[in-house]
Amino acid sequence: MRRLSATLIIALVLCFCLHAGTVSYVYGNNISSVDMEGASRGQVFSDEGGNMLIVRKTSGNVVMFDKLISRVSYRSGSELTRRGPVFTLTAGGGTNHALARLSMTTPVYPFNPVMMAGASYGKTSGIAALVLAGVEVAVPLARLWDASSTFIQNGKFVGYGTAGVAIGAETAFASCYGISYRHSLGILCWEAGFSWLSVLGKSTVWTPYAGVGVNF
């Protein structure tokens, strides 16, 4: 039942992602630049205030953005500067496992590769070190509603699925998947949600968790 619930939640996040493409509201539609030639999906730009935007779609000479990091209010006509990918490093834990997670923006945005490392404890038999890799889907809230920018809309729905190994008394296959809400303001971010961890031959458990991180 828990596996089914987790699968349904992840599917819901993916549906949000697909639905977002039909919403006419685009955050950052008042952002413009004198030179946007060659812009393509997944490219990251910073404006004059240090805000980070990522290209989610291009149509002719129109470039649509999602916001990644908000530092100051966006200004119409702000000049944009291209930069490299944005990395997000978070560390958090719950009642069953603690994980550090690293993800980065890519041309297949909003799908990002993610790597995890940490430990399981509590209901699992013994403490096991965990090393996992997989995919993360981050959907900005501003793409889901036609509304003005608010504090809440500085955040994202995040879903992820990973696979790797658990090293304890013995080495076993492990998988981890979950859903969370992540809020970014400046270089810092925080998130809260639920995570499911399965260690082959031991157990499958879920836990609420909270974490803090940094964007760079």
Report the CATH number of the 86-215 domain: 2.40.160.20
| Single-letter residue type at 148 | S
| Gap between the Cα atoms of 187 and 44, Å rounded | 15
Q: What is the pTM of this model?
A: 0.78
How far is the C-alpha of 151 from the C-alpha of 184, rounded, in Å? 10
Report CA 203 to chain centroid distance, whole Å: 26
Strand 81-83 vs strand 62-69: parallel, antiparallel, or unpaired?
unpaired
Within 10 A of 19 (CB to CB), how many other CB atoms are there?
12
| pLDDT tens over the chain, length 216 residues | 455 555 555 555 555 544 444 322 233 444 545 456 678 889 998 888 888 888 888 776 677 788 888 777 767 667 788 889 999 999 999 988 899 999 999 999 999 999 999 998 876 556 789 999 999 998 887 665 544 555 666 788 899 999 999 888 788 899 999 999 998 877 889 999 999 988 887 778 889 999 999 988
What is the 3 state secondary structure string of 139-176? EEHHHCCCCCCCCHHHEEEEEEEEEEEEECCCEEEEEE
Domain boundaries defined on the chain: 15-83, 86-215
3-class DSSP state of 107:
coil
